[in-house]
């Protein structure tokens, strides 16, 4: 009896174990039929890597972040599914997330390349615009007696432009953009201040034109007349209505202003004449020709401004405005006099005598002629 029972038990165990083996085999077959998301995740990861290489994290930030999120979701879903009993695992969501991540990463890469390309072109175009503004400053404003803040703004602009170019060369386009925007702000400040100064100055142009025409007309009787153009930094000699000489000249650092008082480093404007010629030894500036500054107009203006409180009570009107040598230095260095090269003053000295009319004007050319139609 006992032996029969033992046999039965053994057979039950064998059958049960066989069932277990069969169940395991079926499960293995079922599981092996399931598609793992391995390949999709690898593709998504590589797409993300390519997007990053194309700097999508900078130029297509939103899409890139979405793609990263999709990849992370795929991974966390995969991990979650793997925690479940093997037969109940479902990787569809994981594969879906991975595929979305790849798709968005590709879009991010494409958008990044486009945006970076556009930005690079914009930055390059901005460099051209900025360089033109700097050239405009150098062409029109560089020699104007500008304030320190304007010089500084111009110089800072050049520095930011250099930094921006370096950033652009090293592929840091966003940084280059920020830097050229800074450069643009500074150059605009400098150019706006300088152009306002120039436009304001040319408000007197009709008067200068008349004075210059009068001076040339005065030479028609055969007299020599000196006409000084401050903007052009030129001294012309006219005789019988014709230009017979022209020289480069230099003034004081505040040459644009009309001389009003002692020490203002400005060069006077108006009609003057040579009152005294100074030979070598009588002047420290090689040779010199003293003008009759201040004339009656200068005195009247000085007194009026003093009454108006525009010039301090203790200020003097100034004197000793000359045309003299020691020039040719390439910048405005005198105290308001007209500086010439020694060989030029030698020539002029021989050419003109005491009493020669000297007309000093801001410019004999109009502003548009000087700027050659450049928009500023």
Instruction: Choose one: 72-80, 101-109, 266-274, 313-321; the region binding another protein (CB under 8 A).
Output: 72-80
Strand residues in the chain grouped as ranges (E): 224-229, 234-239, 242-248, 270-278, 288-291, 322-324, 338-339, 357-361
Q: Does 2 bind another protein (CB under 8 A)?
A: no
Q: In angstroms, what CA-CA distances link 65 with 51, 68, 71, 113? A: 11, 5, 10, 16
Do 342 and 326 form a contact (C-beta atoms < 8 A)?
yes
Q: Does 262 bind another protein (CB under 8 A)?
A: no
Return the sign of the alpha-carbon dihedral for residues 26, 29, 34, 38.
positive
Instruction: Choose one: 18-26, 107-115, 120-128, 351-359; the region binding another protein (CB under 8 A).
Output: 18-26
Q: Does 31 bind another protein (CB under 8 A)?
A: yes
For the CB of residue 34, give the shortest distance to another protein in the complex, in Å: 8
For the CB of residue 32, give the shortest distance to another protein in the complex, in Å: 9
The residue from 159, 185, 197, 218 that contacts another protein (CB under 8 A) is 159
A 10 A CB-CB count for 213 gives 12
Interface characters, 266-305, with another protein (x: CB under 8 A):
----------------------------------------
State which of positions 134-153 bind another protein (CB under 8 A): 142, 146, 148, 151-152
Check residue 268 and report its DSSP letter. Answer: P
3-state secondary structure of 186: helix
Do 161 and 180 form a contact (C-beta atoms < 8 A)?
yes
Interface characters, 82-121, with another protein (x: CB under 8 A):
x---x--x--------------------------------
Q: In angstroms, what CA-CA distances link 320 with 1, 261, 336? A: 148, 12, 9
The residue from 99, 103, 139, 158 that contacts another protein (CB under 8 A) is 158
CA distance 91 to 81: 7
Burial 18-51 (b: 16+ CB within 10 A, else e): eeeeeeeeeeeeeeeeeeebeebbeebbebbeeb
CA distance 159 to 153: 10
Q: Does 330 bind another protein (CB under 8 A)?
A: yes
Task: Please say which residue, 236 or 349, places its beta carbon nearer to another protein.
Answer: 349
The residue from 25, 121, 125, 170 that contacts another protein (CB under 8 A) is 170
CA distance 96 to 19: 36
CA distance 362 to 339: 16
Q: How many of the chain's residues bind another protein (CB under 8 A)?
A: 56
The residue from 125, 166, 243, 369 that contacts another protein (CB under 8 A) is 166
Instruction: Choose one: 127-135, 154-162, 289-297, 315-323; the region binding another protein (CB under 8 A).
Output: 154-162
Task: Please say which residue, 51 or 361, places its beta carbon nearer to another protein.
Answer: 51
Instruction: Give the interface with another protein as residue ranges (CB under 8 A).
Output: 10, 13-14, 17, 20-21, 24, 27-28, 31, 36, 38, 41-42, 45, 49, 52-53, 71, 75, 78-79, 81-82, 86, 89, 142, 146, 148, 151-152, 155-156, 158-159, 162-163, 166-167, 170, 172, 175, 252-253, 265, 326, 328-335, 339, 341
């Amino acid at each position: 009896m006992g032996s029969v029972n033992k046999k039965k038990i053994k057979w039950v165990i064998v059958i049960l174990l066989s069932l277990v083996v069969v169940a395991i085999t079926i499960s293995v077959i079922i599981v092996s039929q399931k598609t793992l998301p391995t390949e999709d995740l690898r593709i998504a990861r590589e797409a993300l890597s390519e997007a990053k290489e194309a700097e999508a994290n900078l130029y297509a930030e939103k899409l890139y972040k979405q793609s990263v999120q999709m990849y992370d979701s795929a991974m966390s879903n995969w991990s979650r599914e793997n925690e479940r009993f093997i037969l109940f695992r479902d990787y569809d969501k994981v594969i879906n997330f991975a595929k979305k991540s790849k798709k968005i990463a590709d879009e991010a890469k494409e958008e990044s390349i486009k945006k970076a390309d556009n930005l690079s072109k914009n930055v390059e175009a901005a460099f051209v615009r900025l360089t033109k503004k700097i050239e405009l400053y150098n062409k029109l404003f560089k020699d104007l007696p500008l304030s320190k803040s304007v010089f500084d703004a111009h110089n800072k602009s050049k520095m930011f432009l250099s930094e921006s170019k370096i950033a652009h060369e090293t592929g840091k386009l966003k940084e280059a953009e920020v830097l050229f925007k800074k450069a643009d702000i500074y150059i605009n400040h400098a150019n706006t201040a300088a152009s306002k100064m120039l436009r304001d100055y040319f408000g007197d142009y009709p008067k200068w034109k008349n004075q210059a025409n009068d001076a040339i007309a005065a030479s028609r009787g055969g007299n020599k007349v000196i006409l000084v153009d401050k903007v052009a930094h030129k001294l012309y000699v006219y005789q019988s209505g014709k230009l017979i000489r022209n020289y480069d000249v230099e003034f004081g650092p505040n040459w644009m202003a009309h001389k009003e008082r002692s020490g203002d480093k400005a060069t006077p404007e108006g009609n003057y004449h040579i009152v005294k010629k100074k030979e070598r030894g009588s002047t420290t500036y090689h040779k010199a020709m003293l003008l009759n500054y201040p004339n009656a107009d200068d005195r009247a203006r000085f007194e009026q401004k003093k009454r108006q409180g525009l010039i301090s009570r203790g200020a003097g009107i100034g004197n000793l405005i000359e045309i003299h040598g020691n020039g040719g230095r390439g910048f405005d260095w005198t105290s308001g006099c007209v500086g010439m090269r020694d060989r030029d003053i030698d020539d002029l000295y021989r050419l003109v005598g005491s009493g020669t009319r000297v007309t000093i004007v801001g410019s004999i050319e109009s502003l548009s002629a000087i700027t050659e139609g450049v928009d500023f």
